[in-house]
Amino acid sequence: MAEYTFRRASIENDLEIKFIAEIDNTIPALFDSDFVVNEQMNQDRMKFLKACKEEDFFDVVLADNKNIVAFHVVKKVPHFDRFAGRIDTLWIAPDHRKKGLAAALKLRAEKWAQEQGLDHLHTWVHADNRKMISLNEKMGYRTVNYKMRKDKKDFLSDSSKKNDDQPNAQNLIQLVAYNPEWPNWFAQISKKLAACLDGLFVSIDHIGSTSIPGLASKDRIDVQITVQKIDEKFKEKLDKALTSDGFKESRWEQDHRPPGDESPQENWKKLYLSGIHPELSFRANIHVRVRGMKNQIYPILFRDYLRAHPDSALAYQRVKEELVRFHANDSIAYTELKDPACDLIMVNAHKWAKQTDWKT
Ligand SMILES: CC(C)(COP(=O)(O)OP(=O)(O)OC[C@H]1O[C@@H](n2cnc3c(N)ncnc32)[C@H](O)[C@@H]1OP(=O)(O)O)[C@@H](O)C(=O)NCCC(=O)NCCS
């Protein structure tokens, strides 16, 4: 169990602020798959963070006095004839969540707000960010405004009519029956990727439910690109190749870690992008992972095990159907509940891999 230290961020330390700015900019993408970060946005965010004044709140948490595993920024802003605290960001590293760090940071900010004599603290939370909404509610925050948004694609149109029967239909998670075309779709996207990533990858594999014959799935192709190593330099090369062929830029993500796993964090790191290639008509989720890392082996073993065990595949399908029945409009609940179900399947998959001398 890590020991946590709280301190004020070092605004003078460019490396520290860059680290925070880059992570901070990935948060909107958790809830908006079209949100893409570029270098300019990272630099702007750095400037914004470095502009924090002495009177603002900007704390970080270190694990074992080494790495930053959480940050919280609240700026003092005018509110009519008084001042309020505007919460600009709060983030906890995935491996350090559910340990009370967010709650502790919020309490420290409250103490600061009291010392500053602020009228109130306020924050914006994405409507799908159930964890943050629930934590805020537990800590006594209440909803006072609704932020309502109309995207540019809908300007000058009355889009209320088309959704009359199915509110938020676009955002609902939907499963479709197995489509025998999916392997062909994978072949098409993998060909495009192989052509633009010439020399940058080890293999390209079809993963996820669309790679398991007979299984219902979300209608999108999951692709795993296996590479030798990933770092910022590699990301630059990858993004250059991808964007030149009409793909989007990738972003850093941390995969779900099965309970009890204590392997180094590197094992669960990936680059990720989701989108529709301009010459293709279906959406693909692309996961770039390092050869031999646990997150690279996981989806391939998962796939091969379910291909060899149709009874388990059917049970997995049932889990997904029930998740959609109860949580079709809550992608976070869907994923948070699906992941441990996959981990359960993986317990047997690992035994099977040993018995059959399975290799990736
Ligand atoms: C939202 C976020 C900040 C919450 O961080 P966290 O570390 O999980 O928060 P906490 O541990 O303080 O509290 C979260 C939950 O863990 C529970 N918890 C706290 N201490 C715990 C412990 N020791 N053991 C088990 N559970 C614990 C809390 O009761 C709370 O329960 P709930 O999920 O039922 O509401 C984190 O998920 C995150 O960084 N998300 C991505 C960034 C983001 O969305 N930021 C907000 C933008 S507005």
Global pTM reads 0.56
* Ligand 1 atom nearest to CA at 123: 48
The token pair at 290 is 């390092």
18, 2, 251, 289: CA torsion to nearest 10: 130
Distance, CA of 276 to CA of 189 (rounded, Å): 10
Q: Which of 122, 147, 172 is the last residue of a domain?
A: 147
Ligand 1 pocket, 26 CB below 6 A?
A: no
Q: Are residues 204 and 349 in the same domain?
A: yes
- Which residue, among 260, 284, 261, has the nearest Cα to 274 in the 3D structure? 284
Residue 158 lies in a domain: no
Q: Are residues 214 and 126 in the same domain?
A: no
Distance, CA of 158 to CA of 165 (rounded, Å): 15
Residue 121 lies in a domain: yes
For residue 75, list its beta bridge partners. 86
The pLDDT, as a whole number, for residue 169 is 55
Token pair 């072949």: residue:
187
Ligand 1 pocket, 101 CB below 6 A?
A: yes
Distance, CA of 70 to CA of 59 (rounded, Å): 8
Token pair 């109130």: residue:
120
Residue 128 lies in a domain: yes
Q: Are residues 80 and 227 in the same domain?
A: no
Residue 337 lies in a domain: yes
Ligand 1 pocket, 98 CB below 6 A?
A: yes
Q: Are residues 57 and 198 in the same domain?
A: no
For ligand 1, the distance from its centroid to the CA atom of residue 115, given in whole angstroms, is: 25
Distance, CA of 238 to CA of 129 (rounded, Å): 30
Q: Which strand (E) or helix (H) includes residue 343?
A: helix 331-356
Query: CATH number for the domain including 324?
Result: 3.30.460.10
* Ordered mean pLDDT values, 10 residues apiece, the chain (360 residues): 95 97 95 88 97 97 96 97 97 95 98 97 91 93 89 72 46 90 96 92 97 94 96 91 88 91 91 91 95 98 98 96 92 91 97 95
Q: Which of 96, 123, 147 is the last residue of a domain?
A: 147
For ligand 1, the distance from its centroid to the CA atom of residue 135, given in whole angstroms, is: 7
Q: Are residues 345 and 218 in the same domain?
A: yes
For ligand 1, the distance from its centroid to the CA atom of residue 36, given in whole angstroms, is: 25
Residue 167 lies in a domain: no
Range of the domain at 107: 4-147
Q: Are residues 141 and 193 in the same domain?
A: no
* Ligand 1 atom nearest to CA at 129: 44
Q: Are residues 138 and 281 in the same domain?
A: no
Query: CATH number for the domain including 116?
Result: 3.40.630.30
Number of compact structural domains in the chain:
2
Residue 155 lies in a domain: no
Is residue 291 within 8 Å of 317, Cβ to Cβ? Answer: no
The pLDDT, as a whole number, for residue 164 is 38
Measuring from atom 23 of ligand 1, which residue has the nearest CA? 99
For ligand 1, the distance from its centroid to the CA atom of residue 38, given in whole angstroms, is: 28
Supply angle C-alpha 189, 193, 199, rounded to 5. 155
Distance, CA of 100 to CA of 94 (rounded, Å): 13
Residue 28 lies in a domain: yes
Q: Are residues 60 and 189 in the same domain?
A: no
The 10 Å Cβ neighbour count of residue 197 is 19
Residues 6 or more apart whose CB falls under 8 angstroms from that of 345 comprise 302, 305, 306, 312, 316
Q: Which of 126, 147, 168 is the last residue of a domain?
A: 147
For residue 57, list its beta bridge partners. 74
Q: What is the per-residue burial (b if ≥16 Cβ within 10 Å, else e) of 232-265? A: eebbeebbebbeeeebbbbbebebbbbeeeeeee
The pLDDT, as a whole number, for residue 163 is 42
Residue 163 lies in a domain: no
Ligand 1 pocket, 90 CB below 6 A?
A: yes
Q: Are residues 187 and 139 in the same domain?
A: no
Q: Are residues 225 and 337 in the same domain?
A: yes
For residue 123, list its beta bridge partners. 87
The pLDDT, as a whole number, for residue 158 is 61
Q: Are residues 109 and 46 in the same domain?
A: yes
Q: Are residues 337 and 268 in the same domain?
A: yes
